[in-house]
Amino acid sequence: MSVFTRPDNPVYDLAVTGNRICTIALLFIGFNIFASGMFTALSNGIVSAVLAFSRSFLFMVIAMLVLPAVLGVAGVWLATPAAELMALVLSGIMFVKYRRQYGY
């Protein structure tokens, strides 16, 4: 963060805290991208599109509207991990739903 602002600036502390919280999303992002790509590879574009749209827009909008109202500034930073976690649940549901069809 010190590349963008000096450590004595209040923005620095806010950005460091936010960066630590948003990093949690990295635990889920890889699986969600894999799930969308797998359904694309299996020629199921509808499921792939639903997964991609949900994680990048639908769940993010829901999280950005709800979490800041409940948690304040921390809710803004938690929106990305929350959206990715919701997408992870949806991806898991799709994997279970289509496992017999694709035999994995």
pLDDT in tens, 40-49: 999 999 999 9
Q: How many domains does the chain have?
A: 1
**2 found inside a domain:** no
Crossing angle for the helix pair 73-102 and 10-22, nearest 10 degrees? 20
Over the chain, what is the mean pLDDT? 95
Identify whether the C-beta of residue 67 lies closer than 8 Å to the C-beta of residue 79. yes
* Residue numbers of the domain that contains 51: 10-102
**1 found inside a domain:** no
pTM over 0.85: yes
Which backbone phi and psi does 102 adopt, to 5 degrees?
A: -100, -10
pLDDT at 1: 84
**21 found inside a domain:** yes
Q: Which of 12, 20, 4, 2 is nearest to 77 (CA)?
A: 20
Contacts for 98 with CB less than 8 Å, ≥ 6 apart: 39, 42, 44, 47
Q: Where are the alpha helices (DSSP H) in the chain?
A: 10-22, 26-41, 45-53, 59-71, 73-102
